[in-house]
Amino acid sequence: MRRVAIIGAGMTEFGELWDQSFRDMGIRAGFEALNDANLTSEQIDALYVGNMSAGRFIEQEHVAALIADYAGFAKNNTPSTRVEAGGASGALAIREAFMSVASGLHDIVVVGGAEKMTDISDEEVNAIQSSAADQEWETIFGATYPSLFALMAARHMHEYGTTREMLSAVAAKNHKHGSMNPKAQFRREIKPEDVSKSPMISSPLRMLDCAPISDGAAAVVMCPLDMAKKFTDRPVEILTTAMASDSLALNQRRSITEMAATKIAAKKAYNRTGLKPSDIDLAEVHDNFTITEIMAVEDLGFAPKGSGGKFTLEGKTTVGGEIPVNTSGGLKARGDPIGATGVAQIIEIVQQLRGDAGKRQVPDAKIGLTHNVGGTGSTVIIHILGVPQ
């Protein structure tokens, strides 16, 4: 396998982008990434797009061809592939692109992730998001995405003594980080008490435990590491990609206070790179709900099982702490345009490893990890990135 590097990155601001369509966002992110890598569309061998549900959000399928067309690739007849894995669609696109470059099939590949979620009502968005859960075993009985994660949170509180205060600490910390990210949807700090007092969505999860509905697009450019120096002085290497799946429905899992797919994918990623959790300088983890981040820091091995909440409350995941988590603001504050999220996580690590993260910069960051989840943990994709040695 060839070593693979990221040589360019670009993204739109995340948020309610009322004046940008799906294609506008795709173009903006794509051009920013190409400019960052000093490339033109003629040099691109392939395009991968992560997108969960453009068909339902904007009634547009076949979005890989659409983005290729509007990014100026159509005239080159560039192969363009759209992939979907619920909330992990963005990371899946990264993984597919990585494999195509590592295998030698393609040299220069663009990966985009995009979702336009605000053209329809909140109720419709909720229904579409929930369709990443099991439609026959869960949602047909009235389960929604928040209610399934609420079950996990309630059980985690019961088994490990995780508290309201700990959940609130996750959201407050991610808003603090988001306040330092110019592309974040929420660039304002909130107090843990604000989270604890926000309206109940599905007990015990409250409104400020949940990631928002967002529009946004993100893109990166990859090539073999040995070619990277031609395009940039600061390539960031993708050290490994690891993926695991699990049952679609929550009721089939042995435990709902962990994501087995996270543990398995993490084990693969650590084994392949020879790294330990303590070697990771920072991580972008999936925090669609505060409980998801608490489980992630445990399942990724940063904190012992059951202590993720306490770990967060003690400030260990804040910039300046032991292992800064979601320095971008995470899904909670940066925003969660589903297909774009996994790509935006990669971009945050790239910026941090390049030393470009401004006020939220983690000093001497050399190795970063991303963790992207589809459904309630039915798909987990982990990438570890590093400054090439």
Partner 1 sequence: MDVGIVSYGAYVPRYRIAPAEIGRIWGLDGAGLGRGLMVEAKSVPSPDEDVATISVEAARYALRRCRVSPQKIGAIYVGSESHPYTVKPTGTIVAEAIEATPALTVADYEFACKAGTAAIQTCMGLVKSGMIEYGLAIGSDTSQGAPGDPLEFTASAGGAAFLIGSKEIIARIDHTVSYTTDTPDFWRREGQVYPSHGGRFTGEPAYFKHIISCSKMLFERTGTKPTDFKYAVFHQPNGKFPLRVAKQLGFSDEQVKTGLLTPKIGNTYSGAVPLGLSAILDEAKPGDRIFVVSYGSGAGSDGFDITVTDAIEQYERSAAPTVKEILSNFKLLDYGTYAKFRGKILLGGE
The site for partner 1 (CB under 8 A) is made up of: 16, 18-19, 118, 121-122, 199-200
Q: Give me the phi and psi of 202, to 5 degrees please.
A: -150, 110
Distance, CA of 139 to CA of 143 (rounded, Å): 4
CB of 183 vs partner 1, minimal distance in Å: 18
Say if CB 380 and CB 230 are below 8 A apart.
no
CB of 206 vs partner 1, minimal distance in Å: 11
- Residue 48: enclosing H or E segment and its boundaries? strand 46-50
Residue type, 223: C
CB of 122 vs partner 1, minimal distance in Å: 6
Count CB neighbours of 206 within 10 A. Answer: 23
Which residue's CB is nearer to partner 1, number 122 or number 356? Answer: 122
Which residue's CB is nearer to partner 1, number 56 or number 176? Answer: 56
Write the CA distances from 297 to 181, 251, 303, 359, integer angstroms. Answer: 22, 23, 6, 23
Which residue's CB is nearer to partner 1, number 105 or number 200? Answer: 200
Which residue's CB is nearer to partner 1, number 119 or number 165? Answer: 119
Residue type, 17: L
CB of 87 vs partner 1, minimal distance in Å: 22
Distance, CA of 366 to CA of 32 (rounded, Å): 24
Say if CB 78 and CB 68 are below 8 A apart.
yes
CB of 191 vs partner 1, minimal distance in Å: 17
Which residue's CB is nearer to partner 1, number 158 or number 197? Answer: 197
